[in-house]
Amino acid sequence: MMNPVKFQPLQPLQNPFEPPKPQSEQKVGAPTFLDVYKSIVGGAAATQEQKSQDMLDLMLGDVDDLERIQSNITKAQISLELLVNVRNVTLEAYNEIIKMSI
């Protein structure tokens, strides 16, 4: 069984002109962008593995539930599209930050 990707709200950005808050004042357990990105990558990898296993089972004739296989293939496609879109938006944001003059 696949683990669904769980999204949690991102931490707000800190004002770059303020000194960083000590660790004791920061929210404990709030996910960072890296945590969310790793979750998306992990979810995409897991769904791709499941899709590959389902396709192998289908080729070997070890399948009784075609609807589940179709569902897993669709989940894999959607998770891969999500990963690519998040990567594209991240790169666009990075390029915009690089273009900024200080």
What local confidence, expressed as pLDDT, does residue 85 receive?
95
Instruction: Compute the distance between CA of residue 96 and CA of residue 92 in angstroms, rounded to an integer.
Output: 6
Calculate mean pLDDT across residues 32-36.
86
Residue, of 5 and 36, whose pLDDT is higher: 36
Predicted confidence band of residue 53 (pLDDT cuts 50, 70, 90) = very high
> Are residues 41 and 83 in contact, defined by beta-carbon separation less than 8 angstroms?
yes
Enumerate the domain spans of the chain. Answer: 33-99
Mean pLDDT over all residues of the chain? 82
- Between the CA atoms of 59, 66, 3 and 83, what dihedral angle is there, to the nearest 10 degrees? 70
Predicted confidence band of residue 36 (pLDDT cuts 50, 70, 90) = confident
Calculate mean pLDDT across residues 73-98.
93
What local confidence, expressed as pLDDT, does residue 63 receive?
85
Q: Does pLDDT of 79 surpass 80?
A: yes
Calculate mean pLDDT across residues 47-76.
91
> Are residues 55 and 49 in contact, defined by beta-carbon separation less than 8 angstroms?
no
Instruction: Compute the distance between CA of residue 49 and CA of residue 55 in angstroms, rounded to an integer.
Output: 10
